[in-house]
Structure 1
Amino acid sequence: MEERLAGLEGVEDALATVTGFAAAAAVFLSLLKAGDHLIVSEVCYAGDYELATRALPDLGIEVTPCDLTDPAAVRAALRPTTRLIHAETPCNPIPRLTDLAALLALAREAGALLSVDSTLATPVISPGRWSTGRIW
C-alpha cells in the first residue's frame, strides 16, 4: 500500500498509519525535539491541535498556533528555531483553504519543513501533485 501511495503521489516514499492522529504524532515526534519551534494551524483536527498545544510544550517544544491563510501572520510567527509548519487543507472543522505554495515558500525561506494533513482532500488534489521538495 505504501509503495502504491508513493507512486500515486509521485514521491520516493510513503508511510501509512492506522489513524490521522497517529500520522501527526509520528511527524511531530520524529521531527521535533526540545528547543524546536512548531507553527500549527489554528484551525485543524482537534486531536492534532491538542497534541501540539498541550503535549509538545511538555517536551520542550515551543508551539505557535497561527492563521496559515495569512502569509504575514506566518512570517511574524517564524523564529530561528522554527523546524516545522503543520497545515491542514481543507481545514476541519471549518472548511477553509490554505495556499500551500505560499506556505511552502515561507517554510523553505526559514529552513523549516512543511507537513500537510490533507485528509479531506482526495489524492487527485493532494499536495504531492504540485510540489517537490520538503513537504511531509
Structure 2
Amino acid sequence: MPARLDHTIMHSTDSTASARFLTHLLGAPDPEPFGPFVAVPVEGGLTIDYADFIVQPDQIVMQHLAFLVSEEEFDGIYARVRESDLPYWSDPGHQGPQRLNHRSGGRGLYVDDPDGHAIEFLTVSEGPGS
C-alpha cells in the first residue's frame, strides 16, 4: 500500500492569519489550534499545519501547495479571490497576471499567501499518472 500524506507544516509569520487566508479561499470552516500549530484540514485526512515558532520570519522559504478542486469549488475560490482583490496569476512565475490558465483542458490559478507561499488551485491534475 502506498503511503498517505498525513500532514505538512507551513512556516509562517502569523500562523492564524495564514491559516485563515487559506480557509477563506477554500470556503472552509475556520482553522483550529492543534498543539502549537493552527491546522487546516483538507480532503483525505490531510492537515496543513501552520507554525510561526519554528523559524524566524527572514528564514521562511517559499513553498508551493496545489489543490485539485471541482469546477464548482473552483468557481467559489475564484469568486473569493476576486472579491478580496487578491492578485492572481496563470502560472507559478507570475507571468500571467489576473488571468487563469487552461492547461490540460481545466482551469487554474495561483495566489500568494501572506508569507509568499504559492497556493495553486486547479481543476485537472497535471501530475504523473493523471
Q: What TM-score does the superposition give when structure 1 sets the normalisation length?
A: 0.28
Structure number with higher strand proportion: 2
Q: Which has the larger radius of gyration?
A: 2
